[in-house]
């Protein structure tokens, strides 16, 4: 029996020994698509693509039925439609995905406080401290999968392993809707048959460099002397990949990792040169970023804008504030100033973005008023908007410039 055949396969007996495997990687299956199909069950089993339907749209998510045609996230929608013309296209509902993500993370917290979200649809969990209360890691993984499906109507795949790196590979190995255990004493057996591109840090260029050395699998890499790898890839990268090839990953699960930055961007259906339209989009993005800052209890000191021309060249400009903020009005004013200073007014743009960096907890931030300066009340007004949005939905309260006029039968 070959080494690869000895590895437990998805759908086979999952009673593998999970001793020494406290790390779970939980990954939602085709998350955005799964949320949409929960509300439209008649589409289950059919190709579905989530993304803006216009020519400039990109694929945000696709069901596994659509993926069989080669459709994948970040693909231009025009290409996705050519590959799978029979697919149903559903525009994204970002607020809905955010809410489901929040509830899924809350489910994880009921099993262990050691939860490290790494995206809206995936997280690492350390369940070592929950064994006495809930049972072995594989059993906890099974309970998590059942609770996510029961409460949120979507499926997830879970990898169980001795380290974060191996647990993430294990969850990919059993997608969709699977559970896969890599026993601590079988890590090398699991890793070495895999293509070398499975290792974190192996991108296209690194893969090409390794191919020149005749390295195609993780096992091939594991047998290469360390000094050879470091000579080819550099000291740090060579040592990093050599450790991963033998399953060595000492990073702990780190709960509540703070965001380093918060941003939002928009690709236009057609290129826009009108400065008034660009500023309206900057306002929309500033509102979205500020709301995320307040929701996460953060303020930021550095504001940046991203401006992409019609020829895809991209310009970024940033400015640091005297005081950190979570107020959309301030973000908007700075963004407009950066846009004006960029020299791209009246230039056709295909994308704009707003981002806030140098984040800190809002609880520790204080606003120092200058001599004779008065409070503007913007923060209080925006907090009231937050409360209205939570109660009545995302479009309950909008700045006047973002409110569309009533439909009068004329396409504007």
Contact 315/352 with Cβ under 8 angstroms? no
Q: Is 321 left (phi over 0), alpha (psi -120 to 50) or beta?
A: beta
DSSP state of 102: H
The SS3 call for residue 300 is: strand
Distance CA 294, CA 289 (A): 9
Query: How many residues are listed for the chain in this entry?
Result: 412
Distance CA 314, CA 328 (A): 24
Contact 259/296 with Cβ under 8 angstroms? yes
Distance CA 318, CA 357 (A): 10
Max CA distance (Å), the chain: 82
Beta-carbon neighbour count of residue 378 at 10 Å? 14
The SS3 call for residue 74 is: coil
| 202-211: long-range contacts, CB 8 A cutoff, minimum separation 24 | 202/241, 206/233, 206/237, 209/233
Bridge partner residues of 248 (DSSP): none
Strand-strand pairing, 88-90 and 48-51? parallel
Query: How do the residues of the chain divide into helix, strand and coil, expressed in percent and rounded to 5?
Result: 45, 20, 35
With a CB cutoff of 8 Å and minimum separation 6, the contacts of 408 are none
Angle, alpha carbons 285-289-292 (nearest 5°): 145
In the residue annotation, 151 being an active-site residue is answered as: no
Beta-carbon neighbour count of residue 68 at 10 Å? 12
In the set 65, 114, 122, 382, the catalytic residue is 122
Contact 106/152 with Cβ under 8 angstroms? no
For 208, counting Cβ atoms within 10 Å of its Cβ (0-12 exposed, 13-18 middle, 19+ buried), the class is: exposed
Distance CA 371, CA 363 (A): 24
Q: Known binder of ligand: residue 27? A: yes
Task: Output the known binding site for Mg(2+).
Answer: 27, 121
Task: Output the known binding site.
Answer: 27, 121
| Residues designated as active site | 122
């Amino acid at each position: 029996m070959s080494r690869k055949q000895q590895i437990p396969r998805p759908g086979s007996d999952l009673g593998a020994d999970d001793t020494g495997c406290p790390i779970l990687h939980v990954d939602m299956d085709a998350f955005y698509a799964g949320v949409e199909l929960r509300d439209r069950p008649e589409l289950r089993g059919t190709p579905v693509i989530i993304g803006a339907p216009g020519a400039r749209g990109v694929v945000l998510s696709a069901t596994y039925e659509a993926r069989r045609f080669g459709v994948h996230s970040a693909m231009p929608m025009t290409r996705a439609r050519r590959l799978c013309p029979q697919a149903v296209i559903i525009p994204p509902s970002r607020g809905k995905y955010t809410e489901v993500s929040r509830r899924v993370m809350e489910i994880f917290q009921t099993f262990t406080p050691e939860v490290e979200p790494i995206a809206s649809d995936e997280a690492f969990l350390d369940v070592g401290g929950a064994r006495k209360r809930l049972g072995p890691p594989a059993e906890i993984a099974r309970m998590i999968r059942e609770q996510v499906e029961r409460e949120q109507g979507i499926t997830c795949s879970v990898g169980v392993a001795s380290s974060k790196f191996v647990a993430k590979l294990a969850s990919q190995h059993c997608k969709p809707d699977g559970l896969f255990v890599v026993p601590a004493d079988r890590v090398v057996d699991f890793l070495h048959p895999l293509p070398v591109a499975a290792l974190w840090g192996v991108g296209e260029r690194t893969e090409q460099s390794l191919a020149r050395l005749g390295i195609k699998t993780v096992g091939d890499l594991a047998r290469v002397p360390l000094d050879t790898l470091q000579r080819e890839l550099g000291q740090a990268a060579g040592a990093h990949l050599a450790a991963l090839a033998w399953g060595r990953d000492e990073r702990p699960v780190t709960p509540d990792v703070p965001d380093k930055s918060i941003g939002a961007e928009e690709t236009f259906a057609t290129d826009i040169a009108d400065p008034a339209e660009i500023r309206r989009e900057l306002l929309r993005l500033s509102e979205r970023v500020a709301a995320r800052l307040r929701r996460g209890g953060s303020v930021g000191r550095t504001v940046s804008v991203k401006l992409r021309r019609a020829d895809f060249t991209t310009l970024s400009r940033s400015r640091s504030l005297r005081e950190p903020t979570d107020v959309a009005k301030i973000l908007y004013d700075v963004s407009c100033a950066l846009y004006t200073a960029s020299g791209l007014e009246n230039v056709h743009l295909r994308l704009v973005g707003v981002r806030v960096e140098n984040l800190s907890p809002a609880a520790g931030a204080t606003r120092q008023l200058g001599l004779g300066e008065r409070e503007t009340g913007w923060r209080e007004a925006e907090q009231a908007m937050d409360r209205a949005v939570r109660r009545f939905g995302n479009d309950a309260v909008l700045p006047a410039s973002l409110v569309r006029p009533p439909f009068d039968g004329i396409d504007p």
